Structure formats: structure tokens, C-alpha cells
């Protein structure tokens, strides 16, 4: 079983299901990536410098024996490297053991102080994240564009960008981001932002499609009813729903049976779900279940609806 392909605005294609690797421990992720590629039919792996496990992901890619050219690899620029894009990218390429990425994303629209008190999460004396307010996001994007020109990445995109943040870079962008990777699932569908992305030909990529670790989505009554009706698992419905909406979906698992079913079960579900099922799932958040699971306390206005006031 393989995932369908989604066309990007630069003409390239991306497999619609990718294996997530966040919080996959270094001693578990190699086997998960190898299994996903070799046994389960995945051809897309979602990584990030900030996950701290790229070396082990690279080991899994090589162990799978699947040729590099058949695999779509995404990684992400961490916040402390907004002013040093190539430096972060070169580390990622060395970690993964490849000389190019298929897709490189700006992980968060939040430049962090590169000279702060911590290489990943620098903090101010008051405990707030040390954001580099003097840095212009447009300059991050210029450096991202230069990586395409140098041939180190085939496509570039963004992650966790609200419309407000996209509108900071789009007017001067020479390359339109091909994707925006966002928290997208039945409890956080972000319909307005997704519509905006569609109007700009930017593909929405769904992270935490199952609601991340310890998720209540898997036991949601509506999800379970729909699963039962079609003889599916809850996870099949959750991933299949996003797939049926034309998104790229990034379920994470280190469990072989789940890795396999998150692709095959979801592709199956995407063909079985009826318009009435999709409508019900589309309406869950508005019916009082709106919830985000990934909310780092950035002390900047990200411009998202439903962002908790942690700041």
C-alpha cells in the first residue's frame, strides 16, 4: 500500500502520509523509520533539527534499503537559527546523511536569540522565552530561498504560521511556501486558515492528526460511531478524514502495527467516509470540542484563533 501523492505549487509531488518522528526516542526511531519504509510502504518522513533524533532517523532510512531518491524527507529550521539558515540546514543534512532535503520548513515564526542562555530554548531572567524581536521574518525567508537556489533543498515551506505571519513574508517572497504544517485534527480544524492556504495554493500539512500522545480524539463518540459504521479503527477515521480533505497527514508512531495501519487503514478510510461523516467531523470543534494540544508559550502574538493565553 502506498499513500496518494499531492501536487505542490512548484509542480513537485509529496506523499500524502508521512511518518512523524517528534518524541520518538533515539533508541526507537531507527526501527520505526526502517519498518515504515521497508514494510509499511511509507515514502515520506517528517523530521526536525529540534527533535534531536535526526541521526537515528538517518540510520533508519539507510537500514531500509529504499533508495534515497524514492523517499521524501522533510526537516525544519529551529528558532535559534533564523539568522543562520544554512548552518542549521547543514547540520540536518549531516545528521540525516543526505546531501539534499525534499522540503525544508521554518519550524515556528518565532526567531529565538541565537546568543541566548540555551541552544534550543533560550530564556530571559524572568523565565520567558528569549525571542529575538530585532530579527525580521522576511530575512529568514530570503535565506530559505537561497537554499533552493543552492540545490540543498527542493522545496521550502513554513510551519505554525497563522495568516498574520504568512502575510509578513508573502508580499516580498520570491518563492511561495509549498506547505504550511499546522496542528490540524477534528478538534482543531482551523477551517478559516485552511481556506486561506487553499486560496494561496499552499498545501495544509496536518501535524498531531491523532491529537498527539494521550489523545482524547481516539475515544471521541462521534469518531467511534463513524469507525464502527465502516468497520474501521478510530485512528483510521482521524487520519482518513484529513486525507479525504486533500491534506498531507503526519501520524507518528513507533509501534509497527500502528505505523502500518496509519497508512493502509487511513487510505481505506478516506475512500469509505461519506460526505455526512466528513460534515460531522468538520463540526466537532464548533460544537464545543475545540482544543489545541501543542501550545509552546511563545511571548509573541502568533495571530492564531484559539491560542491559549499563556503569555
From 210, 267, 269, 273, residue interacting with ligand NDP (rule: CB under 6 A): 210
Exposed, middle or buried, 125 (CB in 10 Å: 0-12/13-18/19+)? exposed
Establish if 181 lies at the interface with ligand NDP (CB under 6 A).
yes
1 binds ligand NDP (CB under 6 A): no
Contact 66, 125 (CB under 8 A): no
Cell numbers given for 298: 511563545
Q: Which residue is nearest to ligand NDP (CB)?
A: 20
Burial (Cβ within 10 Å: 0-12, 13-18, ≥19) of residue 92: buried
Q: Which 47-86 positions form the footprint of ligand NDP (CB under 6 A)?
A: none
Residues 6+ apart with CB under 8 A from 271: none
List 14, 15, 22, 267, residue binding ligand NDP (CB under 6 A): 22
51 in catalytic set: yes
Give me the least distance between CB of 239 and ligand NDP, in Å please. 8
Q: Which residues are annotated as a binding site for substrate?
A: 107
3-state SS, residue 271: helix
Q: Rule CB under 6 A: is residue 204 a binding residue for ligand NDP?
A: no
Judged by CB under 6 A, does residue 177 bind ligand NDP? Answer: no
- Report helix angle 54-64 to 26-38, nearest 10: 30
Among the residue ranges 92-100, 167-175, 210-218, 279-287, the one whose residues contact ligand NDP (CB under 6 A): 210-218
- Is there binding between residue 140 and ligand NDP (CB under 6 A)? no
Among 155, 160, 162, 188, the residue binding ligand NDP under the rule CB under 6 A is 160
CA distances from 2 to 38, 120, 158, 262, 267 (A): 12, 35, 25, 11, 9
Residue 4 DSSP one-character state: P
Q: Is 253 in the site for ligand NDP (CB under 6 A)?
A: yes
Options 7-15, 17-25, 54-62, 88-96: segment touching ligand NDP (CB under 6 A): 17-25
Contact 92/81 with Cβ under 8 angstroms?
A: no
Q: Using CB under 6 A as the criterion, which residues of the chain lie in contact with ligand NDP when the complex forms?
A: 20-23, 46, 107, 159-160, 181, 207-213, 218, 235, 250-255, 258, 261-262, 294
Amino acid at each position: 500500500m502506498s499513500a496518494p501523492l499531492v501536487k505542490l505549487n512548484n509542480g513537485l509531488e509529496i506523499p500524502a502520509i508521512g511518518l512523524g518522528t517528534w518524541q520518538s526516542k533515539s533508541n526507537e526511531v531507527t526501527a520505526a523509520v526502517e519498518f515504515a519504509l521497508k514494510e509499511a510502504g511509507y515514502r515520506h518522513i517528517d523530521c526536525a533539527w529540534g527533535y534531536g533524533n535526526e541521526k537515528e532517523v538517518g540510520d533508519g532510512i539507510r537500514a531500509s534499503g529504499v533508495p534515497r531518491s524514492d523517499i521524501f524527507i522533510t526537516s525544519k529550521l529551529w528558532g535559534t537559527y533564523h539568522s543562520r539558515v544554512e548552518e542549521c540546514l547543514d547540520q540536518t543534512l549531516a545528521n540525516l546523511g543526505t546531501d539534499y532535503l525534499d522540503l525544508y520548513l521554518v519550524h515556528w515564526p518565532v526567531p529565538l536569540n541565537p546568543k541566548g542562555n540555551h541552544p534550543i530554548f533560550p530564556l530571559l531572567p524572568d523565565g520567558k522565552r528569549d525571542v529575538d524581536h530585532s530579527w525580521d521574518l522576511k530575512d529568514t525567508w530570503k535565506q530559505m530561498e537561497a537554499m533552493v537556489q543552492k540545490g540543498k533543498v527542493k522545496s521550502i515551506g513554513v510551519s505554525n504560521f497563522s495568516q498574520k505571519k504568512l502575510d509578513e513574508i508573502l508580499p516580498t517572497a520570491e518563492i511561495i511556501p509549498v506547505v504550511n504544517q499546522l496542528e490540524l485534527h477534528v478538534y482543531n480544524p482551523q477551517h478559516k486558515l485552511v481556506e486561506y492556504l487553499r486560496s494561496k495554493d499552499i498545501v495544509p500539512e496536518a501535524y498531531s492528526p491523532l491529537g498527539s500522545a494521550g489523545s482524547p480524539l481516539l475515544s471521541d463518540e462521534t469518531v467511534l460511531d463513524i469507525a464502527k459504521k465502516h468497520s474501521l479503527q478510530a485512528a483510521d477515521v482521524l487520519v482518513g478524514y484529513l486525507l479525504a480533505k486533500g491534506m498531507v497527514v503526519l501520524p507518528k508512531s513507533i509501534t509497527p502495527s500502528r505505523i502500518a495501519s496509519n497508512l493502509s487503514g487511513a487510505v481505506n478510510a478516506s475512500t469509505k467516509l461519506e460526505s455526512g461523516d466528513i460534515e460531522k467531523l468538520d463540526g466537532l470543534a464548533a460544537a464545543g470540542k475545540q482544543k489545541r494540544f501543542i501550545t509552546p508559550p511563545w511571548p509573541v502574538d502568533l495571530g492564531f484563533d484559539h491560542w491559549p493565553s499563556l503569555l
